[in-house]
């Protein structure tokens, strides 16, 4: 089984320093949903792994998070794309959970649910914590320069095997070429 793990905010949709707190605030980055469709057509399962501390902070509730994800799924379907599963950590940044990236808990859950070894599995993110979680789980960290990506690259400290791409479409070009 071919699988790709994507962060949500900054990779699939525009990010906000104030969090994406409603379906109206969720807006796809141009070309990202079409890139997911191309992954699907190439036989990849697309899984999202996203920190959503806004739930733990009380900025929005689970019904709102579900509505945001429903909008994402519908927008993806409208261009022939499919996101197989969304894994998320709802805990605040100061929580001691195992699922909040940079910890690898979400990635371990993905591996268990899909019964796959994550070694070499592409994991696309725009922040250092995305890349660290991927690296800890044995996945291949891929940084996109959308979202926080340019700042993440400039700050340095990336896992040694991190690949860098302009955006999700460029990642997909590389994966399916």
9 is in an annotated binding site: yes
pLDDT at 72: 98
Instruction: Report pLDDT for 95.
Output: 87
- Tell me what the pLDDT averaged over the chain comes to: 97
Q: What percent of the chain has pLDDT over 70?
A: 100
- What is the structure's pLDDT at 1? 87
**How open is the CA angle 136-139-143, to the nearest 5 degrees?**
95
Q: Give the residue carrying structure tokens 């999700």.
A: 168
Angle at 165 between CA 74 and CA 162, to 5 degrees: 110
Report the range of poorest mean pLDDT among 6-15, 91-100, 142-151, 152-161.
Answer: 91-100
Residue range 10-29: mean pLDDT, rounded: 96
Q: What range defines the domain where residue 63 resides? A: 2-176
Helix or strand or coil: residue 117? coil
- 93 falls in which pLDDT band (50, 70, 90)? confident
pLDDT-derived band at 2, boundaries 50, 70, 90: very high
Mean pLDDT, rounded, for 38-53: 97
89 labelled binding-site residue: yes
pLDDT value of residue 110: 98
Provide the number of structural domains found in the chain: 1
Average pLDDT estimate for 53-64: 94
Q: Which two tokens stand for residue 119?
A: 């070694």
Q: Is 91 annotated as a binding residue?
A: yes
The CA distance from 127 to 41, in Å, is: 27
Give me the percent of the chain exceeding a pLDDT of 90: 95
The stretch 33-40 carries a mean pLDDT of 98
pTM for the complete prediction? 0.97
Q: Is 113 known as a binding-site position?
A: no
Which CATH number belongs to the domain containing residue 172 in this structure? 3.40.50.1000
The count of other CB atoms within 10 Å of the CB of residue 138 is 15
Is 99 assigned a ligand-binding role in the annotation?
yes
Q: Any idea which residues carry the catalytic annotation?
A: 7, 9
- Whether 174 has a binding-site annotation, put simply, is no
Mark out the alpha helices in the chain (DSSP H runs): 32-41, 53-56, 62-78, 105-114, 128-136, 149-155, 168-176
pLDDT at residue 46 in the model: 98
């Amino acid at each position: 089984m071919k699988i790709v793990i994507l962060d949500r905010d900054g990779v699939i949709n525009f990010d906000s320093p104030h969090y994406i707190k409603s379906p109206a605030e969720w807006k796809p980055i141009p070309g990202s949903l079409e890139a997911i469709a191309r992954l699907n057509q190439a036989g990849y399962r697309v899984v999202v792994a996203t920190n959503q501390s806004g739930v733990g902070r009380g900025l929005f509730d689970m019904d709102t998070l579900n509505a945001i994800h429903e909008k994402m799924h519908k927008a993806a379907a409208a261009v022939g794309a499919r996101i197989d599963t969304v894994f998320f950590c709802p805990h605040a940044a100061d929580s001691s959970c195992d699922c909040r990236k940079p910890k690898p808990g979400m990635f371990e859950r993905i591996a268990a649910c899909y019964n796959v070894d994550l070694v070499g599995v592409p994991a696309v993110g725009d922040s250092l914590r995305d890349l660290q979680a991927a690296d800890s789980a044995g996945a291949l960290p891929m940084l996109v320069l959308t979202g926080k990506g340019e700042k993440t690259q400039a700050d340095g400290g990336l896992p040694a095997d991190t690949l860098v791409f302009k955006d999700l479409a460029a990642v997909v070009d590389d994966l399916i070429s």
